[in-house]
Structure 1
Amino acid sequence: MSDWIISLEGTDLGHQLALILAILAAILHALFGALQKGRHDPWLSRGAMDFCYGIIAAPIALFVVPWPEPHMWPIFIGAWVIHTLYKTAQGYTYSKGAYTVVYPVVRGTGPLFTVIGAGIVFGEHFNATQWLGVAVLISGIFGLAIYNLRTITVGRDTMVPALMLAVLTGSLVALYTTYDAYGIRATADPFTFLAWFFFIDGFVMPVVAVMRYRGLDVKPDLGPLMMRGLLGGIVAYFSFGFIMLATRLDNVGEAAVLRETSTVFAALIGWLVLKEKVGPRRLLLMALIALGAVIVEMGG
């Protein structure tokens, strides 16, 4: 599998596969976000998810994939620090703000900064048509956030700090996307990076979750929480793995923009699963997001 992935780098088939992987990552990322923000405290959910994917990754990292080259260890440390900061900011964001409001802000801020970062780090530059696509996509995402903000009736008193945290979280999304794209390109085997990333990344949030669980007056049942963690951990493998493989196969900026169609899928989850109303305005905004992604792809 690794040799086949590597052989597709820079080819037309690799570009098409990267497109498919980025869209699949968008769908799965929306599901992952909904799982973390769902019925359980987001800190507990994230801790359970990280614990599960860390445990699953351990035997793969230690006994299946090739061990990382020496120069990869500082890269893994950097990724661990960035992702810990990101998950901390995300936890506070989800704790203070409604999911349908803060999630679009996080995902709208991320691609803009990622495109800029990819230009600086990898020398990838969008043309005028692609920047138009980015503008259309971001306008749809932020329009969706504003529309959702106008319609919510609970938690409005914490929305200002929640939105500020959402912008911070989005900037950290851009940072980890660019940094991880550098990391997965720095090792010979992309699956070495993925397996060791999940193994190392699974240590911190479970500790945070245990500390938070002990401090709760009303403690949730661990069975349903760990089932959610197992499902979320599996989703995370494919969501993160797909987008990272896409950044190795093709342009980082394009993959990041396509992943942010996750906002559309998040809205669909809210409609189909959470029974939220969609309405013509939200449909129009969702169409703008999809149109922006199409413009970016076709413009390239």
Structure 2
Amino acid sequence: MSDWLISLEGTEAGHQLALLLAIAAAILHAVFGALQKGRHDPWLTRGAIDASYGLMAMPIALFVVPWPEPHMWPIFLGVFVIHVGYKIMQSLSYTMGAFTVVYPVVRGTGPLFTVIGAYLIFGETFSGVQWLGVGVLLAGIFGLAVYNVIFLTSERETLDRALFFAFITGGFVALYTTYDAYGIRATADPLTFLAWFFFIDGLAIPPYALWRYRRMSHPPQVGPLMLRGVIGAFIGIASFGAIMLATRLDKVGEAAVLRETSTVFAALIGWIFLKETVGPRRIALMGLIALGAVIVELGG
């Protein structure tokens, strides 16, 4: 499979597959975010998810895919540090703010920084039409965040801190998107990178989650928590794996922008499953997000 993926790099078929992977990552990432924000403490859910996908990836990393080249180990160290920072900031923002308030700020901050990073690191450029699309998409995302802040949140006492951590999380999203794209391009076998990524990425948060669980006066039942972790692991592998493959097959910046249509899917999830309000203004703002992504794709 690795040979087939590599053969698509830089081709029109690779571009189309990257487009599909980025949209799939958007849908799955919205589900992943709602899953972490949902029923349980975000730290516990994240720990259960990471432990699950780390255990899933371990035998594949150790016994199935080729071992990483020597130059990949410092890259994996960077991956570990960046993703730990991202998870800490994300969990803090989810702990303090409503999902539909925090999520758009995170996803709105990420693509702008990623497009800049893709230019600096990979020499990627956007056309004027594509920059217009980025502007439309960001207007929709941040407009949705502002609307949510004004009308929807009941967590006013922690709102400022939630938005601060959401903004920092968005910076980490841009950092890990660009860095992971660099990492998956630095190895001969992209599946080696993915297997070792999920194995290594699953090491940090579970010990803290277990410590946090043991200190709770009324901890949740282990069974439902771990079931959520296993489901989240499959979603996380599909979501993060899809966007990383998209960044190897095609432009990092375009993949990052298209993924941020996840905000639309997140709003729908918040409305349907988390019982958060959706009105005509939010629908219009979500339409802007989708329109911006379409403009970026057609302008390329």
* TM-score normalised by the chain length of structure 1: 0.99
**Secondary structure of 1:139 counterpart:** helix
**Secondary structure of 1:147 counterpart:** helix
Percent of residue pairs bearing the same amino acid type: 71
User: How many residues get paired?
Assistant: 300
Q: Distance in 2 between matches of 1:100 and 1:279?
A: 13
Q: CA shift at 1:275, angstroms? A: 3.1
Counterpart residue number, 2:172: 172
Q: Please give the per-residue CA displacement for 1:241-296, whole angstroms capped at 9, x wherever unaligned.
A: 00000000000000000000000000111122223332211110000000000011
Is residue 221 of structure 1 aligned with residue 221 of structure 2? yes
Unaligned runs of 5+ in 1: none
Change (3 A) 1:288 1:153: closer
Q: CA shift at 1:211, angstroms? A: 1.1
Unaligned runs of 5+ in 2: none
Counterpart residue number, 1:151: 151
Q: Distance in 2 between matches of 1:259 and 1:115?
A: 12
Q: CA shift at 1:148, angstroms? A: 1.1
**Secondary structure of 2:197 counterpart:** helix
CA RMSD across the alignment: 0.7
Letter in 2 for 1:123: G
Q: Distance in 2 between matches of 1:122 and 1:23?
A: 22
Letter in 2 for 1:134: V
Q: Distance in 2 between matches of 1:208 and 1:257?
A: 32
Aligned pairs for 1:1-300 (under 5 A) are 1-300=1-300
Q: Distance in 2 between matches of 1:24 and 1:35?
A: 17
Letter in 2 for 1:104: P
Letter in 2 for 1:214: R
Q: Distance in 2 between matches of 1:42 and 1:159?
A: 17
Change (3 A) 1:153 1:139: closer
Q: Distance in 2 between matches of 1:94 and 1:271?
A: 17
Q: CA shift at 1:142, angstroms? A: 0.6
Q: Distance in 2 between matches of 1:110 and 1:49?
A: 22
**Is the CA contact (8 Å cut-off) linking 2:134 and 2:257 kept in structure 1?**
yes
Q: Distance in 2 between matches of 1:266 and 1:210?
A: 28
Q: Distance in 2 between matches of 1:208 and 1:293?
A: 37
Q: Please give the per-residue CA displacement for 1:6-46, whole angstroms capped at 9, x wherever unaligned.
A: 00000001000000000000000000000000010000000
**Secondary structure of 2:69 counterpart:** coil
**Secondary structure of 2:209 counterpart:** helix
Q: Distance in 2 between matches of 1:172 and 1:149?
A: 22
Q: Distance in 2 between matches of 1:39 and 1:13?
A: 40
Letter in 1 for 2:205: M
Q: Distance in 2 between matches of 1:268 and 1:106?
A: 17
Q: CA shift at 1:153, angstroms? A: 4.6
**Secondary structure of 1:275 counterpart:** coil
**Is the CA contact (8 Å cut-off) linking 2:48 and 2:229 kept in structure 1?**
yes
* TM-score normalised by the chain length of structure 2: 0.99
Q: Distance in 2 between matches of 1:54 and 1:17?
A: 26
Q: Distance in 2 between matches of 1:296 and 1:116?
A: 15
Q: Distance in 2 between matches of 1:186 and 1:153?
A: 43
Letter in 1 for 2:20: I
Q: Distance in 2 between matches of 1:152 and 1:143?
A: 13
Q: Distance in 2 between matches of 1:43 and 1:231?
A: 16
Q: Distance in 1 between matches of 2:178 and 2:216?
A: 37
